């Protein structure tokens, strides 16, 4: 089972989402449904998917009523076919109706990320290449979206700008305008952060050679054709790890993996996943 997120982080996100949606009150539900009414609802998949975000859904309902009860809650990271019960919810009708959309918003989006990630991971199966996410995440949701990537079998690349050195093309251009070479930049970075992984972006074979000579731990091979990727991977050998990025999709990821790269970073995992089809239907109580 995938490692759980912080309970406090989930509760904070759910509270903010409910505040946004409910505002001063659910006028329809509070006008029509008696506060004594009770019901049972079933959350169900309408397509094959990897489930993620179960705790977000539970907290959404419990935030409206601590008396809500749950049955058959699936584990995050579990693949399910279409028409699978993800969880059963029973309790106060008002609470379930008011929290329904917030719960589904979290589960549908996080499950979409997990499902898409699983597709990429399966596409490179039998190769040694690993699928990475990126920083192309929804503002404020990075921790959650990267969690969903893990649910789908992907690997988190870096949480932010603080936990890995990554010298990109614009860094190199800014340095060049000051007369600073890549090798000089690497020496400075090593002196300041000796224990951090150091990655350098390269767009050409010459830049790959420079990054290797400078002592990069990882070389990011950006927007290269499969032929160029293969040549660069061969030239690097095992002297550094290699990562491919740029416009990666399900149609191309297998061919990229077969060049021998160690990692493929895929921004689409988080910025293009959208939502999967999950329904919440009321049953007879």
Enzyme catalytic residues: 101, 136, 168, 201, 222
DSSP strand E in 53-206: where? 69-71, 79-80, 85-92, 130-132, 165-167, 198-202
- CB within 8 A of 268, min separation 6: which ones? 116, 248, 249
Torsion of CA 94, 84, 142, 61, to 10 degrees: 20
User: d(Cα 90, Cα 67) in Å, to the nearest integer?
Assistant: 9
- Give kind and range of the element (H or E) at residue 15: helix 7-22
CA 139 to chain centroid, in Å, comes to 12
Q: How far apart are the first and last CA of the chain?
A: 32
Instruction: At 263, give phi and psi (nearest 5°).
Output: -140, 150
Q: DSSP state, 199?
A: E
Separation of alpha carbons 127 and 117, rounded Å: 16
The DSSP symbol for 55 reads H
Please answer whether residues 1 and 75 qualify as being in contact, where contact means their C-beta atoms are separated by less than 8 angstroms.
yes
Name the DSSP letter for residue 56: H
């Amino acid at each position: 089972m995938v490692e759980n997120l912080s309970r406090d982080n989930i509760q904070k996100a759910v509270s903010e989402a409910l505040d946004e949606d409910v505002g001063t009150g659910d006028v329809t539900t509070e006008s029509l449904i008696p506060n004594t009414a009770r019901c049972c609802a079933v959350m169900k998949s309408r397509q094959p998917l990897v489930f993620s975000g179960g705790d977000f859904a539970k907290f959404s309902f419990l935030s409206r009523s601590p008396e809500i009860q749950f049955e058959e809650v699936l584990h995050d990271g579990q693949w399910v076919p279409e028409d699978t019960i993800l969880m059963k919810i029973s309790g106060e009708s008002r609470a379930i109706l008011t929290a329904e959309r917030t719960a589904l918003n979290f589960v549908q989006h996080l499950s979409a990320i997990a499902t898409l990630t699983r597709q990429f991971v399966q596409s490179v199966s039998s190769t040694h290449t690993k699928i990475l996410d990126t920083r192309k995440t929804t503002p404020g949701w990075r921790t959650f979206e990267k969690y969903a990537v893990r649910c789908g079998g992907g690997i988190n690349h870096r949480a932010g700008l603080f936990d890995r050195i990554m010298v990109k093309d614009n860094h190199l251009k800014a340095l060049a305008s000051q007369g600073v070479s890549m090798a000089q930049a690497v020496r400075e970075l090593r002196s300041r952060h000796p224990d951090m992984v150091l990655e350098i972006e390269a767009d050409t074979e010459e830049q790959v050679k420079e990054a290797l000579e400078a002592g990069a731990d990882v070389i990011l091979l950006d927007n290269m054709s499969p032929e160029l990727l293969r040549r660069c991977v061969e030239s690097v050998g095992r002297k550094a790890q290699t990562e491919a990025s740029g416009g990666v999709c399900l149609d191309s990821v297998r061919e990229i993996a077969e060049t021998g790269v160690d990692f493929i970073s895929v921004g689409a995992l988080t910025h293009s996943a959208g939502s999967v089809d999950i329904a919440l239907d009321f049953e007879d109580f």
